[in-house]
Amino acid sequence: MKKFIKLSLGLSLVPFFALSSVNAKESLKSAEGSPEIEEILVSASLIPIAANRSANAITVIDSEQIKLRAAQNVSDLLRDVPGLAVSSFGTLGSQTVIRSRGSEANHLVVMVDGIKINDPSQDDAADFGVLSVSDIQRIEIIRGPQSALHGSEAIAGVINIITKTANKPFSASVFSEYGSRATSKSGFSVGHNSEKFSIRLGASHFETDGINAVLETGDDVDGHRNTDVNLKATYRVSDQLNLSLSNRSNSGILEYDDPYADQEAVDYTDDYLTNFESDSFGISVDFNPLGSKFSHGLSIFDSNFQNDQFKAGDEDGTSQSNKKNVKYIGSTSLDKMSQRISWAFENEKQDYKQSGGFATGDDAGRDIERNNDSVALEYRLQPTDFITLAVSSRYDDNDAFGKSNTQRVEAIFQESDSIRYRMALGTAIKNPTFSELYGIFEKFVANPNLIPEESKSWELGVDTGLLDDRYQLSATYFNSRLENEIYTKGFDCDPPFNWPCDYYKPINLSTESDRQGLELSSSIELSDTFLINAAYTYTDSKEGNVEEVRRAKHIGSINAAWQVQGDLKVNINIQHNGTQRDAGKNLASYNLVNINANYNASNNLDAYISLTNLFDEDYKQVFGYETLGFGANLGVRYKLK
């Protein structure tokens, strides 16, 4: 572990030590090692802004990186992002959660084309285990408190996934991939683009036999099937008026085992099963009157989630939820000091229902509704060419939890063409989940008296760019304090661990949870054909004096992209995860090596091979669950036009 940390730190700090003797020829144009000029971020403000005008700690994963990594799902890509910790419960497709800066999984807003995919029928977290990368153009990761812009769940940041759009009069492609554990993935896309109209349809299907995720439950393997369909269209009515539509559906089956179940009462020849289904629909209107400094945007989103659970062949229950969101965003600019004022009005309605085998009691089968109205205001200005300031505030009125107000302040100082400093501080909230308030599960006692979690955070960062931005470094120190943390406590438990217990109940803790740490990321372009990215995160996350679970103090990665020749590109990825606590035990640190090669056989045909966990490392991310060993996948992509 020490050798890996020294290596990742060394690669990250090379540009820093070079700063004293090298002058950059161009200004720093974007954050976290991205080479794009004036990169525009969709989700770091109420309206899109240039990356170098945001004080947030930001990482952008573009289409070329996604292609070269040949990752099976989004979580594989996010393991290389500083500040993020990934926990997967076993096989491909199993529940996978991401924690940002030592926070909880449901403290992170996740959007696809602007539509939140946090699932109220579960625990308000997004399940990254079922997120395919097949139709993704880019991913924006914005760390730090964002409730002043995005409301509840945005305590620790926002991940915005942007899907592909059609860019040719006619385009079509197919792909197919096969690999270890009877894993297969295939799909297609078709699109049209003209001066006025653009439309693209993409679909993919994934299957795997998986692995035996819990050895104690027998020799059965836990498979997964997943189908994803995405439709995206835009229509330019005029130079001032644009319409856009998105429709996404995701459905499948996941087999899983429960290491905490009563083994004498369950026949493990029958798997636990979850049938999952989600769909979202969104329509947006953007209006920019000719000759006016005002812009207007209206969006309407509708999302549905359903999870049907089966235990030993019998239906065990269903959780359902729906989210309806209407949002208006207006903005205007002032010439003096490049000022911009933006405002938003938003209404979100949620409903939740549990039914089936485990749903007994007063709340069984009952539709429970929640309504939230909010107003947000953002003010940005640039008093000089070297200083950018921003203030944002949001007022929420929730019919279940009352009124709340969150704020955020940002400041950027561009000292020179090659270095800039940034500072941000903010407050954020997370409302209790439906399942914490009303959930009906075995040995679980809901608590309708829970109150929202609240946090205060601040961060300081520096970004440098050297040798025409061929060397880049970003460093961020963060510090946050969480009050009223919701913790599911076990009662009448067998010592020494918090399991098994007679029952479990979520409570608001009276102590404060402190999270602090350091994020480093660096991009080193050694030549026109060789690029190295390195990232390292130190996180100290404690509730009182107790270390929080599944949050390793040391996480790092090194990623090398090498264009061997014009048609052949190789990507080598090394990941380190330090020791972490879970279920009263220490999970050992581990290192994973992944290699991907992509060959352009022609303008239309790509072939690629992916080798994961090259040295067959035996490791655990969650106590009680096995993880994937060595795997090999071979795939082809073919563009019809």
> 122 lies in which domain range?
2-639
Query: How deeply is 376 buried, as exposed, middle or buried, from its count of CB atoms within 10 A (0-12, 13-18, 19+)?
Result: buried
- Whether 12 has a pLDDT exceeding 80, the answer reads no
What is the mean predicted confidence (pLDDT) over 581-594?
92
Give, in degrees to the nearest 5, the angle at Cα 329 between 166 and 427: 110
Burial 464-490 (b: 16+ CB within 10 A, else e): bbbbebbbbbbbbebbbebbbbbeeeb
Bridge partners (DSSP) of residue 40 are: 50
pLDDT reading at 372 higher than 90 = yes
What is the pLDDT at residue 271? 63
**Whole-number pLDDT of residue 23:** 29
pLDDT for res 543? 87
Q: Taking a C-beta distance cutoff of 8 angstroms, is the pair 130, 32 a contact? A: no
Q: Please report the pLDDT score of residue 20 as a whole number.
A: 30
Top-confidence residue, 68 or 7: 68
The pair phi, psi for residue 180, each rounded to 5°, is: -60, 155
**Which position has the higher pLDDT, 434 or 34?**
434
Q: Which tens digit of pLDDT belongs to each residue from 415-440?
A: 988 899 999 999 999 999 999 999 88
CATH of the domain at 514: 2.40.170.20
The overall average pLDDT reported for the chain is 87
pLDDT band at residue 1 under the 50/70/90 scheme:
very low
Give tens-digit pLDDT for 379-401.
999 999 899 999 999 999 999 99
Q: Name the helix (H) or strand (E) containing 187.
A: strand 183-193
Please tell me the predicted confidence (pLDDT) of residue 502.
82
Q: Kindly tell me if the per-residue pLDDT of 3 is higher than 90.
A: no
Q: Percentage of the chain surpassing pLDDT 90?
A: 66
> What digits encode the pLDDT tens for the residues 200-257?
999 999 999 999 888 776 778 889 999 999 999 999 999 999 999 999 999 999 888 7
Question: What is the model's pLDDT at position 255?
Answer: 87
pLDDT at 268: 43
Strand order in the sheet with 136-143: 57-61, 136-143, 157-163, 108-112, 115-116
CA gap 81, 98 in Å, rounded: 11
CA 232 – CA 238 distance, rounded (Å):
19
Q: Is residue 10 pLDDT above 50, yes or no?
A: no
pLDDT over 50 (residue 30)? no
Checking if the pLDDT of 609 tops 60, the result is yes
Answer whether residue 13 shows pLDDT above 90.
no
What share of the chain has pLDDT > 70, as a percent? 89
Handedness of CA 115, 40, 475, 405 (dihedral sign): negative
Between 518 and 95, name the one with better pLDDT.
Answer: 518
Q: What tokens appear for 218 in the block? A: 């027998």
Greater model confidence, 634 or 367: 634
What is the spatial distance between Cα 163 and Cα 251, in angstroms, rounded to a whole number? Answer: 18
User: What is the rounded CA–CA span in Å between residue 630 and residue 617?
Assistant: 8
pLDDT in tens, 469-503: 789 999 999 999 999 999 988 888 766 555 678 88
Taking residues 168-188, report their average pLDDT.
95
Q: Three-state DSSP class for 233?
A: strand
pLDDT at 461: 97
Please say if the pLDDT value at position 142 is more than 90. Answer: yes
Distance of alpha carbon 349 from alpha carbon 370, whole angstroms = 6
Given a cut of 70, is residue 363 above it in pLDDT? no
Residues pairing with 493 in the sheet: 501
* Confidence at residue 4, expressed as pLDDT on a 0 to 100 scale: 45
- Mean pLDDT in residue range 58-78: 89
Chain mean position to CA 106: 11
Amino acid residing at 501: C
pLDDT of residue 439: 85
Number of domains in the chain: 1
The answer, yes or no, to whether residue 267 has pLDDT greater than 90, is: no
| Residue 359's pLDDT band (cuts 50, 70, 90) | low
Work out the pLDDT band at 441, boundaries 50, 70, 90: confident
